[in-house]
């Protein structure tokens, strides 16, 4: 059976930095000390006016392809984990697929909120292990800032925007060791954006007034989420370690979902992993939802925290209520550099993809015009 190995990685965060003091200037009853002491967050990145989720995802994906020295045309499947898609339909993954020029790839979105990336990584690994795919691009991308009530200090200070991506490739060496996924829908109302689906219409007697009760905003029961998250991330991590045959001392790096520093520290204590083996960047980015773990992985690699043969544990929780964990044995050298021609090749491929997409759109318009003319003649 082939193994799924991470061979490429990339991240992108918007250029706009919003520090904690910005919320004080907005008139919120808060302070830098209040936010930092309760969450560990000092700043976050927020998208600009013209940045959609697919824009973040494409930039992270190009970095992952560059790192792997891979061609978009060789990708078999693209999975974009997001709860903030560009549109209700089509999938954001389809938009990423055409912009990358991944002409052979299937494309789908996966929504498990903040657990989405680990869900998607396990799904992509399963496709490779079954022999149905040889290369799978897995992306976590979210911009929850579009769903925040900037008058609610309990939620708006927590989240940031960004994207991270990895390229999975079939390998004879061990890669993804094991994974677990779970959900408890009885707690779905504890972390929810009510608007955007069919339920909002049903709750308003057939009308689609999504803004009537601020239903477009993220709503969260913070205390209950905190208690549940520390328990479930720890349990998921323990389950994956047991399935992988790993003991806590054999884990070289623990990368949990970056939601809250206190949750991260409490989870590590429960699992028995010392703080020096835990990676956290929540202070700089806040909670970037499905993007948080791949962004943290990229920064851990850049910081020299990952080397070939390391056992890495990923653990996450999110709305649903959902949770997921995955163990991977790192199988590639992070010092390896792709060919210097790689950036140029990727630039050419993406421009060709844009031309191809434009030509196909034009072709459809021409065919529609011809069909319409012929039908008029027949009438």
pLDDT in tens, 162-183: 999 999 999 999 999 999 999 9
- Is a pLDDT exceeding 70 seen at residue 278? yes
Instruction: Identify the helix (H) or strand (E) that includes residue 376.
Output: helix 342-378
Buried b (16+ CB within 10 A) or exposed e, 171-189: beebbbbbbbbbbeeebee
Closest CA to 192 of 323, 320, 322: 320
Question: In the predicted model, what is the mean pLDDT of the chain?
Answer: 92
pLDDT of residue 379: 54
Mean pLDDT lowest among 123-132, 216-225, 321-330, 349-358? 349-358
What are the residues facing 163 on neighbouring strands? Answer: 12, 141
Whether 83 is catalytic: no
Please give the average per-residue pLDDT across 236-258, as a whole number. 98
DSSP-based three-state secondary structure for 173:
coil
How many CB atoms within 10 Å of residue 303?
10
pLDDT of residue 226: 95
What angle (nearest 5°) sits at the alpha carbon of residue 7, between those of residues 302 and 140? 75
Rounded CA gap, 319 and 184, in Å? 9
pLDDT of residue 265: 97
Please give the average per-residue pLDDT across 118-132, as a whole number. 98
Please give the average per-residue pLDDT across 195-201, as a whole number. 83
State the pLDDT confidence band at 97, using cuts at 50, 70 and 90: very high
pLDDT of residue 55: 98
Whether 114 is catalytic: yes
Mean pLDDT lowest among 60-64, 199-203, 293-297, 316-320? 199-203
Whether 257 is catalytic: yes
Domains and CATH numbers, the chain: 3-329 (3.40.47.10)
CA distances to 75, 77, 94, 97, 350 from 103, rounded to whole Å, are 8, 10, 10, 7, 12
Please give the average per-residue pLDDT across 131-137, as a whole number. 98
Please give the average per-residue pLDDT across 319-341, as a whole number. 85
Higher pLDDT, 344 or 217: 217
pLDDT of residue 142: 98
- Percentage of the chain beyond pLDDT 70 is 93
pLDDT of residue 208: 56
- Is a pLDDT exceeding 80 seen at residue 42? yes
State how beta strands 16-19 and 43-46 pair.
Answer: antiparallel
Q: Which of 111, 287, 298, 311 is catalytic?
A: 287
Q: Which of 114, 147, 260, 298 is catalytic?
A: 114
- Is a pLDDT exceeding 90 seen at residue 245? yes
pLDDT of residue 364: 77
Please give the average per-residue pLDDT across 95-108, as a whole number. 96
pLDDT of residue 359: 81
- Is a pLDDT exceeding 70 seen at residue 339? no
pLDDT of residue 1: 86
Q: What are phi and psi of 272, to 5 degrees?
A: 90, 30
Higher pLDDT, 354 or 266: 266
- Is a pLDDT exceeding 90 seen at residue 346? no
Q: Which of 3, 66, 147, 257 is catalytic?
A: 257
Please give the average per-residue pLDDT across 288-299, as a whole number. 98
pLDDT of residue 262: 97
Please give the average per-residue pLDDT across 113-133, as a whole number. 98
Higher pLDDT, 66 or 207: 66
pLDDT of residue 17: 97
Mean pLDDT lowest among 45-54, 146-155, 158-167, 341-350? 341-350
């Amino acid at each position: 059976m082939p193994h799924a190995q991470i061979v490429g990685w990339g991240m992108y965060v918007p250029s706009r930095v919003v520090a904690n003091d910005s919320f004080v200037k907005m008139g919120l009853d808060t302070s830098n000390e209040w936010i930092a002491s309760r969450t560990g967050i000092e700043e976050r990145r927020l998208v600009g006016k013209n940045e959609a989720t697919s824009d973040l995802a494409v930039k992270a994906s190009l970095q992952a392809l560059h790192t792997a020295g891979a061609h978009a045309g060789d990708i078999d499947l693209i999975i974009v984990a997001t709860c903030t898609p560009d549109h209700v339909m089509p999938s954001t993954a389809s938009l990423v697929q055409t912009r990358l020029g991944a002409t052979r790839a299937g494309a789908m979105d996966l929504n498990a909120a903040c657990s989405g990336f680990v869900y998607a990584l396990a799904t992509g690994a399963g496709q490779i292990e079954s022999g149905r795919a040889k290369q799978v691009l897995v992306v976590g991308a979210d911009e929850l800032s579009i769903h925040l009530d900037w008058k609610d200090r309990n939620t708006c200070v927590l989240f940031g925007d960004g994207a991270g991506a990895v390229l999975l490739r079939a390998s004879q060496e061990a890669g993804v060791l094991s994974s677990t996924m779970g959900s408890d829908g009885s707690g779905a109302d504890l972390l929810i954006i009510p608007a955007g689906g069919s339920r909002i219409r049903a709750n308003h007697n057939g009308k689609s007034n999504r803004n009537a009760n601020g239903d477009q905003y993220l709503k969260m029961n913070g205390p209950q989420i905190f208690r549940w998250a520390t328990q479930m991330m720890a349990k998921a991590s323990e389950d994956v370690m047991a399935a992988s045959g790993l003991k806590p001392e054999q884990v070289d790096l623990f990368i949990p979902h970056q939601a809250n520093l206190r949750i991260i520290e409490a989870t590590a204590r429960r699992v028995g992993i010392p703080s020096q083996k835990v990676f956290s960047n929540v202070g700089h980015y806040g909670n970037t939802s499905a993007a948080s773990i791949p962004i943290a992985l990229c920064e851990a690699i850049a910081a020299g925290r990952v080397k070939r043969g390391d056992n890495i544990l990923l653990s996450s929780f999110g709305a649903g209520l959902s949770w997921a964990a995955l163990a991977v044995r790192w199988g590639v050298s992070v010092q390896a550099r792709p060919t210097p021609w790689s950036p140029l090749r990727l630039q050419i491929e993406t421009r060709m993809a844009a031309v191809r997409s434009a030509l196909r759109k034009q072709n459809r318009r021409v065919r529609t015009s011809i069909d319409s003319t012929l039908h008029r003649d027949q009438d």
